[in-house]
């Protein structure tokens, strides 16, 4: 391992960071998963006399995006790794206990061992499209759930459920229109519309 690596186990509220060099590994340091926490992480790295790291974190929906973007902007190399890859690596190294310390260390070890491909933030127009697709997915799931409830609902509840279904259908129609308009406004995306949607949907969850 040539570059100092930073393993990050992230959740909605906070994240645990483990710093690893060629001969040392720190105990996990906990930070809030918000801008103040990101600044605290950078200050901690400076205190450790580290100016550049290869930071690795799990691909965990939207929870890790702001931190990944922050690290990228301040000049660190960032990799966003599929959780199944991390789990498989931890298992191969006989790291079986599910704790924040083990997870952060496992991610750091994986980063140092295989040097995952560098990540770059999405272009603004692609990020906006991804947000629309995420919203569409939530609405479609809610619509299906309401249809399921409608099958066994009492008359009064059925009436309320149908009203919600009508609202969801209107929202879905609106989101689909916004997605279509977005492609029209960005011709360079429209040429690869089907492929782009399939890739973004795969990484939405």
Torsion-angle region of residue 39: left (phi > 0), alpha (psi -120 to 50) or beta?
A: alpha
Confidence of residue 136 (pLDDT cuts 50, 70, 90): very high
CB 80 within 8 A of CB 66: no
Tell me the CATH architecture of domain 5-114. Answer: 2-Layer Sandwich (3.30)
* Tens digit of each residue's pLDDT (9 = 90 or more) over 48-90: 999 999 999 988 767 899 999 999 999 999 999 988 888 788 7
CB 16 within 8 A of CB 102: no
CB neighbourhood size of 113 (10 A): 12
Q: State whether residue 10 is helix, strand or coil.
A: strand
What is the pTM (predicted TM-score) of this model?
Answer: 0.75
CB neighbourhood size of 51 (10 A): 10
Structure tokens of 175?
Answer: 């989101």
């Amino acid at each position: 391992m040539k570059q100092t690596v930073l393993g990050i186990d992230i959740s909605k509220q906070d994240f645990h960071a483990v710093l690893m060099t060629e001969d040392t590994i720190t105990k996990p340091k906990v930070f809030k998963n918000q801008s103040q926490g990101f600044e605290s992480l950078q200050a901690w790295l400076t205190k450790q006399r580290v100016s550049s790291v290869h930071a690795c974190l799990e691909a965990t929906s939207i929870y890790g995006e702001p931190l990944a973007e922050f690290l990228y902007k301040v000049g660190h190399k960032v990799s966003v790794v599929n959780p199944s890859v991390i789990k498989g690596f931890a298992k191969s190294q006989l790291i079986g206990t599910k704790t924040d310390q083990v997870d952060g260390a496992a991610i750091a070890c994986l980063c140092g061992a295989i040097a995952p491909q560098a990540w770059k933030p999405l272009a603004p127009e692609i990020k906006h499209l991804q947000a629309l697709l995420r919203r569409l997915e939530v609405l479609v799931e809610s619509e299906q759930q309401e249809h399921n409830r409608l099958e066994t609902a009492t008359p009064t509840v059925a009436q309320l459920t149908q009203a919600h279904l009508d609202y969801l259908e209107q929202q879905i129609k609106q989101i689909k229109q916004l997605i279509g308009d977005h492609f029209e406004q960005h011709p360079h995306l429209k040429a690869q519309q089907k492929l782009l949607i399939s890739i973004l949907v795969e990484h939405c969850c």
